[in-house]
Amino acid sequence: MAPQSWYLIVSALLFGLGIVGFVTRRNSLVMFMSVELMLNAANLVFVAAARDHVPARGSACALFVIAVAASEVAVGLALVLALFRLKKSVDSDAVRELRA
């Protein structure tokens, strides 16, 4: 069985990928996927911890995250859709109205 540190390293890599993707990409759908990547990086830590320490609590947290992620997808995709209707584009640079 692989040691827990491997899972943590993979999780950290996934999280880093998510951050880099979110900060660098301009396509809001890709940014959205990056967010999912970060969420699932966290999930990986939870299930890894569940296997070695407290199974029920870790799994429950992972399930929570999946549920929250699902609802977040619903809201987020609706936002992207609204953005597209407004700007005919899903590029995040198209929305800069809040610039001071």
Partner 1 sequence: MSTVGALLLGLPLAAATLIGILHRRLSTRTAGTLAFAMAATCFGLAVAAFTHLRGLPEDARHVAATFWSFLELGRGDAALTLDVGVWLDPLSVTWALFITGVGSLIFLYSISYMEHEAGGARYFACLCLFLFSMLTLVLGKNLFLTFLGWEGVGLCSYLLIGFEYGKETAAQAGRKAFLVNRIGDVGFLLGMFWTWKLFGTLEHGELTPKLAAGLAAGIALPPLLALCYFVGACGKSAQLPLFVWLPDAMAGPTPVSALIHAATMVTAGIYLLCRLSSLFVAADWALDVVAFTGAATALFAGLIALRQRDIKRVLAYSTVSQLGYMFLACGLGAFASSAFHVVTHAFFKALLFLGSGAVIHALHGEQDLWKMGGLKHHLPKTAFAMRIGAFALAGIAPFAGFFSKDEILGVAFARAYAGDPACWVLWGAGVLTAALTAFYSARMITLCFDGSSRLDAHSHPHEAPAPMAIPLNVLAVLSLVGGIGLGFEALHWLPLHHWLAPTLAPLDLPPLPGALLWGLMTLAFLIAVLFWRIGAKWYSGDCEPARAAELTFPRFAGALAGRFFVDEIYGALIVRPLRFLAALALQFDVRVVDGAARGLGQFAALVGTGVRIVQNGTVQRYAFWMVAGAIALLWLALG
Rule CB under 8 A: is residue 93 a binding residue for partner 1?
Answer: yes
Considering only the stretches 50-58, 61-69, 71-79, 90-98, report the one whose residues sit in contact with partner 1 under the rule CB under 8 A. Answer: 90-98
Burial 53-83 (b: 16+ CB within 10 A, else e): eeeeebeebbeebeeebeeeeeebeeebeeb
Dihedral sign for Cα 60, 63, 67, 69, please.
positive
What is the pattern of x (binds partner 1, CB under 8 A) and - over residues 6-45?
-------------x--xxx-x----x--------------
Counting contacts by CB under 8 A, is residue 92 touching partner 1? Answer: yes
